[in-house]
Structure 1
């Protein structure tokens, strides 16, 4: 354990109940849990991630008299620590982390131990001494607890790229995206495999949803058999998981006899009776905020299911719609799925299969065989006792450095969400190696049409994981993913990588070109995240396409591909003309949501029509004005005019509001952007019980997290202020066009920061030639501005403020005053 960097708690409360009122806590101070104060609340102060570890200094009565059981809960916000499942489970994907946010341990002696699985992201932790009946130990003492870090140890105030000003709230808001990127971007090999392989026993499964075979999505009406040895609790398996697992599917769980000697005191035997098989259609056996499950039934097993004994489990999906399960050759049940309520969703017998284990359960599985139910032909067979199964089932250590959607959820490489993350990384952690790894993984999933998977899992090989990444869904994510490549090159000037991957990007843009309709000249996408329900052709889709085409014209110019640059410019010009003719509503002063929805409009459409340059200055002003009057809701802006403003559970997206924030500053609406930043992102820093130190995914109009316990409170897609504050409030940006790539040429302009009322600001960015820093502060009664720029040799810049324009060339330090 000592070889790994560690995250350690900063605050502690020991009491009868959890408490957010913690006292300062120093490493090594230690604490004791006993019958009068059985519960510790630990506050890490900000989002952390890693493998939980514990060092026990004493057990009373002495060790070996009786084992101690402790229950540990993890959560990003404080209040879910009071919930039996904390802020989990996270059974959306096999995420190379514990799928549950509660784990229980038997402690039999003093010394150190660690969890076998990662906890991906949390600020809060609780440890509860469980009562196990007569003879339970009176107390347990810890001298150290924490997390073996699986992400970089970070200090937001000391990152490679920084921002600071005289407004502490804005400094905290800048840090939100930085912390999210620091915990959501993981280095190659840092996320351990979640299955262990034993050459005799097979795969060891613990606290993980079933991981499915990567090549089984076309299979239907099959029979699945495997041997299982339940080490504790039970075993979980799934059949007929659809492409990617983003629709409800069949879940089955065999619960063993739950002997007292090995069963934890907190096991819910009402939810999972001993010697039974549970069947559910959904994502789990319990409901999660956005992932419903319908328990079909609990079927008793006629004979006790002994632990540490091998049992043969057989599941039959019949063409007649019948599901049957047998145990050790004895049929447990056979049911017709049409006889059961499944929440209105149709039960499909098509899709892949896999095995796992529910919370705190442990099982070995081996000799997995899948055959066609009708003719008995073999579809899959493996002993599961060799390491190659890890890649097949997506449970291997992460094979590439990647930026995930969030450290706890979703631990997937979402293509479109990288739009914000790529920019946040460049202006905070500066882990460009992780950004490049993310782009490489994305490109590794490309299909023959040029399309990239939109949500790639970590544990599979990129090419074989493409079906799990919902290729073809949310087609505008292709545009956002392409734009993230531009952001990476804009920061790094990595032309070697650009040249090496250029054929794949051209193939993707060829797909985009195929979506431009010959009749109306607009982009027609089959599914759009940005369009929020509107039917193509939409303003958001076509304006985002213009932005990507303009960006890739610059990339083509950078590598001297004049033909591509000309082609992309011509396509962009044609789209601008079509958007102006068919989607601008002069009467209302908006870019219509869609051609067939002229009266409605949205935040994403407004934002991308501005950031792409489609909107004139007058159109930008008018569309922002009507957006303020009709889409403002609570702390931010609702996505579009169709969203119910009276519903208190309406979610405000930090992603789409981030697009808007950037657009407001580009349009010169500094006051409006400043207000949005304070109201929406300010809500993430004010309440210590909900603040994770990182940017959130969704937020309610009243400022609370937007998906209840399911909300990711460390989501880089919500971190737009991190790059907006650096580029606009401090005022440091690459110069326009390829000449500015890697900040070889740069622009320093504090106009927006002064308009926001700032008296001083400083920022640092990392360039290929070294750090570039600008400091400015008002002087002489706010009549002058003192500016200091420290620049790498080989770069040049321009300072702009109102009518003042000054070239900065040939030095590594510039120190001057200008009138305001």
Structure 2
């Protein structure tokens, strides 16, 4: 069997259509022996190739940097010209939004999560002498430059096409429904930048290729991204078994436990086929045990079984075809958390008949892995709805907080209501039993109207982001007037608001958050616990927005929402305003922690800063926020010893919005 990603045209569901491909606009530079470099400069468009300029030839140890002229994104695609069949070589591509960050083999960072999005900004490709078309399995988004290097092998490599197969709308800016043109060139460019940003950050239904491929034989997995069973969060100590066939490569990966604590990969375990018929069973950055010779091999079906026992002192035991391999320790890391599978680097596997039981032998899950249900359970299929994610260069994940910035921009530019509705449906259709709506959900998830704590924990983030979900619904209502869609999900929206109010201290009338619930957009700074201006202001904003929706739906809860918002507003103005800064402090009782950009913006947008008897005014707070200014834009926080001194497009978006709300158009 051959890996599906190698040398095939198009993804499933796209074979009858010729996709649009972004191609370079110029050669930036070459190094070493590169012949006919300009051949790769081709017009972008819906064809397999434009023109007939031959091919670019890379000799060993040479490279070429291509410039696309602006940010592009999609599945990387290369067309290799056949050479001598027995000769092979390896090329490596690396992508970056800026030339300065185009570090070979690294690029400009990596996304937080995977699946449709590639986990790394670089990939090595083995090119056979037969040539052919190579199409990547992971989307690379938000890059302008690509570095292509000949890194191994004695044979030259001839490339007739290099680009990215688009998965987003490619409508020219001038043809968009919200197309804007004025006598001010700066405003025109500003609008185009915003429209282009949301265009690259949204995708139509069915545009993502499945990460897994199901057939009557089983499920073919080539993706390195761990696919988590979406509702396995509460699986504790378990036994799980499956049939495994390693097609090529050497590594089969299983995950049991929190994916991102203490760091990505900490709860991943590997079965690895070694040379000379030996192998290992190991944990990421941990211990390992040897697999006896002949027990694990490629090209053969194996029955594998794993047992997870313990929590803080946990181990995972493996057996292959009835032969016990041994136990590997979690080394003090908790085994609590979800279950997932993947293939290792350069590995293709087939799995079937997955059975998961608890320690009392109760069946928690069974799937033959021969039907579409496997893709649905592990969220490894296509995207069943149009979606918008938090940026072209990031993961293919719908983030509720970021959507509050994205949403209004869409209505004024691309008018992609399909993607807005799909995003709302996705994060609202993933809700826990406490009412918290998902803050970060994969585009390939199947939503549900039934709340459950079985959803994997990484679907949820913080109070501020959860409440942002409710505000996003108001934006839909405000811009479309569609109450039918809102009404269907209104019970879930109300549960989300009640979740936010569960943090309300009845004595102080203020929202107080601790632990993970106190996270914000600045994940790199960790949580900011306490009575938080951001959490309080956004809850007031959501309550008032929800009250307006309630009025339209005829729900009497509107009165309660307004009364609660007024009480929190008064408490915020009484306790969280700082006379010394002229703005709202980040956390009650801690003047040293300074002020935040988003928290003060929310205070303006929610109406808190303009309330009767407020200690200041919206305009005065915008003036006070100038203490955040730098030559590169306003910082997110005034305290640069507690918080990284970063200019955030996310927080600055709300800052701009608040400045307009305050009537300070020039400041915006």
Deviation at 1:416, TM superposition (A): 1.7
User: 1:490: Cα distance to partner?
Assistant: 2.1
Following superposition, the deviation at residue 121 of structure 1 comes to: 4.4
Q: Counterparts in 2 of 1:455-474, with a 5 A limit?
A: 455-463=440-448, 467-468=455-456, 470=458, 473-474=461-462
Secondary structure in structure 2 of the residue aligned to 1:231 = strand
Instruction: Output the CA distance in 2 between the equivalents of 1:117 and 1:671.
Output: 42
Residue 145 of structure 2 corresponds to 124
Quick one: distance in 1 between partners of 2:521 and 2:101?
33
Deviation at 1:357, TM superposition (A): 1.7
Q: Does 1:436 align with 2:427?
A: no
Alignment of 1:38-117 (within 5 A): 38-56=62-80, 58-59=81-82, 62-87=83-108, 90=111, 92-101=112-121, 102-117=123-138
Q: Which piece of structure 1 moves more, 654-663 or 546-555?
A: 546-555
Q: 2-side partners of 1:115 and 1:335: how far apart? A: 34
Aligned residue runs from structure 1 range 657-806, under 5 A:
657-673=652-668
In the alignment, the residues of structure 2 paired with residue 226 and residue 512 of structure 1 have an alpha-carbon distance, to the nearest angstrom, of 41
Residue 93 of structure 1 deviates from its aligned partner by 3.2
> In terms of Rg, which structure is larger?
1
CA distance in 1, matches of 2:441, 2:261: 12
Equivalence for 2:464: 476
- Once the two structures are superposed, the pairs formed by residues 126-525 of structure 1 within 5 Å of their partners are 126-132=147-153, 136-142=154-160, 144-165=161-182, 168=185, 170-200=187-217, 202-242=218-258, 248=264, 249-257=266-274, 276-277=279-280, 279-281=282-284, 295-297=285-287, 300-303=290-293, 306-319=297-310, 321-338=314-331, 346-372=332-358, 378-463=363-448, 467-468=455-456, 470=458, 473-525=461-513
Give how far 1:113 is off. 4.3
2 CA distance for matches of 1:584 and 1:148? 51
SS at match of 1:229: strand
SS in 2 for 1:228: strand
Which gives a bigger RCO, structure 1 or 2 (Cα 8 Å, sep 6+)? 1
Q: 1:312 to 1:38 in 2, by over 3 A?
A: farther
What is aligned with 1:697? Answer: none
Correspondence for 1:643: 640
Aligned length: 623
Instruction: Describe the superposition over 1:218-271 as per-residue Cα deviations: whole angstroms up to 9, x where unpaired.
Output: 223333333333222223323322388896542123343479xxxxxxxxxxxx
Shift of 1:85: 4.1
Shift of 1:379: 4.0
Distance, in Å, in 1 between the alignment partners of 2:554 and 2:489 is 13
User: How far apart, in 1, do the equivalents of 2:341 and 2:493 lie?
Assistant: 37
Hey, what does 1:796 align to over in structure 2? Answer: none
Name the CA distance, whole Å, in 2 between partners of 1:210 and 1:297: 20
User: Contact 2:232–2:456 at 8 Å: present in 1 too?
Assistant: no
Tell me which moved more, 656-665 or 213-222: 213-222
| Partner residue in 2 for 1:705 | none
Q: Aligned equivalents of 1:357 and 1:555: distance in 2?
A: 46
Distance apart, 1:356 and its partner CA = 0.9
Residues in 1 aligned to 2:74 and 2:636: alpha-carbon distance in whole angstroms:
35
Given the superposition, is the C-alpha separation of residues 595 and 277 from structure 1 closer, same or farther in structure 2, using an over 3 Å criterion?
same
Distance in 2, matches of 1:588 and 1:97, equals: 43
- Structure with the larger strand share: 1
1:654 matched to 2:644? The reply is no
> 1:491-570 maps to which residues of 2 (within 5 A)?
491-526=479-514, 527-530=517-520, 533-557=527-551, 559=552, 561=554, 563-570=556-563
Q: Distance in 1 between matches of 2:250 and 2:334?
A: 25
Q: 1:16 aligns with which of 21, 31, 34?
A: 31
Unaligned runs of 5+ in 2: 1-9, 11-16, 44-50
| CA offsets 1:148-189 (integer angstroms, 9 cap, x no match) | 221111434543223445565554443333222112211111
- Please, what is the CA RMSD of the aligned residues? 3.4
Label 1:205 to 1:530 Cα distance change in 2 as closer, same or farther (>3 A): closer
The Cα shift of 1:334 comes to 3.4
